[in-house]
């Protein structure tokens, strides 16, 4: 085989061994000759390279610059790395189904719907796709949490720390206190106690304040003594008692009027209780009345 390299005389006839040595040199010289006089650049462009002929090992550090790469030529399939660090990018729209950490304890699920968890951070915060959220710790608001920010019945005793809500932060009439009121007309009294007025209330375990008042009258057709008495009961349990009209001798045709108020705080267990204002008179045959009685029962709350 005869190889002739322009500009290098005496290369017409070479042995096979010599040709194997000379051939790479020949190819390099031909490339140099082809690019000589190129007005655009003296570099080797992509048209002069066969596909997949430039390996990573053939490139020096920082030898490939961004100006040497046409726009859009590097595709995702050309990138294979273990990690990318210290990136800064304007990403625009990112389409993703889920972003999570390795242990799946923190994640954002873009496909979540309804009451499925769309965002979770450890055990402290879960936000559902429908907007409901659960907090495992203490919620601190930089602004003001108003009634409009809270769902119905979502703040229970277990959600509030001790003394977390000051009285000044509670809206007037925001806390419902169980209260019952009852009134009566005129009741003729006998020696045996009977109900003048009763109130039934269902409590949640708080103390109960009772306010009771009644008027009393004893008509004495003849001289004698007349005493009307009151007592306050919870069911059959007596809470308080006392006279409402003092002893006094009455002339024929006279009447003795009086009034009494009974006030106390009871401490029943949670449940339904009936409070009774009861009255009696000491003597049979006397015309005695309780009238205009009224009782208010309120369960006390903070």
Q: How far apart are CA 10 and CA 161, in angstroms?
A: 100
The domain boundary residue, chosen from 169, 193, 223 = 169
Task: State the average pLDDT over residues 211-234.
Answer: 77
Its domain, for residue 21, covers 1-45
Instruction: Pull the structure tokens for residue 151.
Output: 């769902």
Q: How far apart are CA 286 and CA 233, in angstroms?
A: 25
Judge whether 50 lies within some domain: no
Q: How far apart are CA 284 and CA 278, in angstroms?
A: 17
Contact status, residue 281 vs residue 243, Cβ threshold 8 Å:
no
- Cα pseudo-dihedral 264, 269, 274, 275, rounded to 10: -10
Instruction: Pull the structure tokens for residue 223.
Output: 């001289």
In DSSP terms, 241 is beta-bridged to 231
Same domain, 197 and 250: yes
The domain boundary residue, chosen from 113, 144, 169 = 169
Q: What is the pTM of this model?
A: 0.47
Judge whether 212 lies within some domain: yes
Same domain, 143 and 227: no
Same domain, 148 and 253: no
- Cα pseudo-dihedral 130, 133, 134, 139, rounded to 10: 180
Contact status, residue 129 vs residue 108, Cβ threshold 8 Å:
no
Count of residues making up the chain: 302
Same domain, 286 and 205: yes
pLDDT of residue 2: 47
pLDDT, one tens digit per residue, over 6-28 is: 555 555 566 777 767 677 777 76
Judge whether 72 lies within some domain: no
More confident position, 189 or 16 = 189
Contact status, residue 228 vs residue 281, Cβ threshold 8 Å:
yes
The domain boundary residue, chosen from 140, 169, 198 = 169
Judge whether 84 lies within some domain: no
Q: Three-state SS string across 64-116, please?
A: CCHHHCCCCCCCHHHCCCCCCCCCCCCCCCCCCCEEECCCCCEEEECCCCCCC
pLDDT of residue 40: 45
Same domain, 114 and 186: no
Judge whether 74 lies within some domain: no
Judge whether 69 lies within some domain: no
- Report the percentage of the chain scoring pLDDT > 70: 62
Judge whether 284 lies within some domain: yes
Q: Please tell me which of 77-91, 96-110, 139-153, 163-177 the model is most confident about, judged by mean pLDDT.
A: 96-110
Same domain, 184 and 281: yes
pLDDT for 190 beyond 80:
yes
Same domain, 207 and 157: no
Instruction: Pull the structure tokens for residue 166.
Output: 């000051």
Contact status, residue 256 vs residue 248, Cβ threshold 8 Å:
yes
Per residue in 1-29, is it b (16+ CB within 10 Å) or e — as a string? eeeeeeeeeebeebeeeeeeebeeebeee
What's the number of domains the chain is made of?
A: 3
Q: Residue 274 belongs to a domain with what CATH number?
A: 2.60.120.40
Range of weakest confidence among 10-24, 128-142, 189-203, 283-297: 10-24
Judge whether 249 lies within some domain: yes
Given 3-state DSSP classes, what are the helix, strand and coil percentages for the chain, each rounded to the nearest 5?
15, 35, 50
Instruction: Pull the structure tokens for residue 123.
Output: 């055990």
């Amino acid at each position: 085989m005869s190889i002739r390299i322009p500009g290098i005389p005496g290369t017409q006839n070479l042995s096979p061994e010599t040709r194997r040595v000379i051939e790479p040199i020949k190819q390099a010289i031909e490339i140099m000759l082809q690019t000589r006089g190129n007005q655009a650049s003296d570099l080797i462009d992509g048209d002069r390279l066969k596909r997949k002929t430039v390996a990573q090992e053939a490139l020096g550090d920082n030898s490939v610059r961004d100006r040497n790469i046409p726009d859009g030529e590097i595709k995702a399939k050309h990138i294979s790395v273990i990690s990318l660090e210290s990136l800064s990018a304007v990403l625009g729209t990112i389409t993703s189904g889920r972003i999570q950490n390795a242990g799946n304890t923190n994640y954002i699920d873009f496909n979540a719907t309804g009451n499925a968890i769309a965002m979770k951070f450890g055990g402290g915060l879960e936000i559902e796709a429908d907007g409901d959220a659960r907090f495992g710790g203490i919620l601190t608001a930089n602004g003001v949490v108003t009634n409009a920010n809270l769902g119905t019945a979502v703040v229970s005793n277990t959600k509030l720390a001790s003394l977390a809500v000051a009285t000044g932060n509670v809206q007037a009439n925001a806390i419902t206190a169980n209260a019952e009121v009852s009134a009566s007309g005129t009741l003729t009294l006998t020696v045996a106690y009977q109900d003048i007025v009763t109130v039934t209330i269902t409590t949640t375990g708080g103390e109960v304040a009772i306010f009771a008042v009644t008027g009393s009258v004893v008509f004495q057709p003849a001289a004698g003594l007349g005493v009307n008495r009151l007592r306050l009961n919870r069911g059959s349990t007596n809470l308080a008692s006392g006279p409402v009209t003092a002893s006094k001798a009455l002339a024929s045709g006279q009447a003795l009027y009086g009034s009494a108020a009974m006030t106390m705080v009871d401490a029943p267990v949670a449940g339904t209780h009936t409070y009774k204002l009861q009255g009696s008179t000491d003597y049979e045959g006397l015309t005695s009345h309780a009238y205009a009685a009224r009782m208010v029962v309120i369960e006390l709350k903070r």
